[in-house]
Amino acid sequence: MFKISLILLLWGQLALPESLTRLVMKDGTVYTLKEPPQVSGNRLIFTTVDGLTLSAKQDDVQSIGAAPKPPPPAPTYMPQDSRALGAIAREDRERQHKVAEVAPAPTQRPTITPKKRSPAKKPTPVKTPTPRPTS
């Protein structure tokens, strides 16, 4: 049984190449192709992943390109991992639709604290030159 599942796994990887071609028709139909289409006159001949061989006018095709790769999976955190405790707590809050306040909202003060006044500046006296004895 193990050999059969291993053979099927390997055959599945060999059957589908990593870079599939995607053909989009003007009416919105999308075909995933085994290989790029072949041009024969004014028509495109292509084989889908399902094994269907089809042809279409070049005017009916909107775009031909590489099929998009699936996005990488989101990271999952282990509850036993002490380094990811913040992320685990955040995910739990999001799952339970809870909002966590990082800091509480500032409260209004009932009275305004008076500002301290600096002492009044005294005017600096004008310096007069010191009289010098004359001889």
Task: State the total domains in the chain.
Answer: 1
Q: For residue 55, is it within any domain? A: yes
Q: For residue 98, is it within any domain? A: no
Chain CA centroid to CA 79, Å: 24
Q: For residue 116, is it within any domain? A: no
Q: For residue 89, is it within any domain? A: no
Cα–Cα nearest to 30, from 15, 17, 48: 48
- Amino acid at the residue 7: I
Q: For residue 39, is it within any domain? A: yes
The secondary structure of residue 42, as a DSSP letter, is: T
Residue 135: per-residue pLDDT: 65
Distance CA 83, CA 103 (A): 23
Domain with 17, as residue range(s), is: 13-66
pLDDT 10s digit of each residue in the chain, 135 long? 444 543 443 344 444 455 688 889 999 999 999 888 898 888 999 999 999 999 999 889 998 888 777 788 887 767 677 777 777 888 888 888 887 666 566 677 666 777 777 777 888 888 888 888 876
Residue 15: per-residue pLDDT: 46
Q: For residue 119, is it within any domain? A: no
Backbone dihedral angles phi then psi of residue 46, each to the nearest 5 degrees: -145, 160
Q: For residue 61, is it within any domain? A: yes
Q: For residue 31, is it within any domain? A: yes
Identify the CATH number of the domain in which residue 46 sits.
2.30.30.100
Are the C-beta atoms of residues 82 and 70 closer than 8 Å to each other? no
The secondary structure of residue 129, as a DSSP letter, is: P
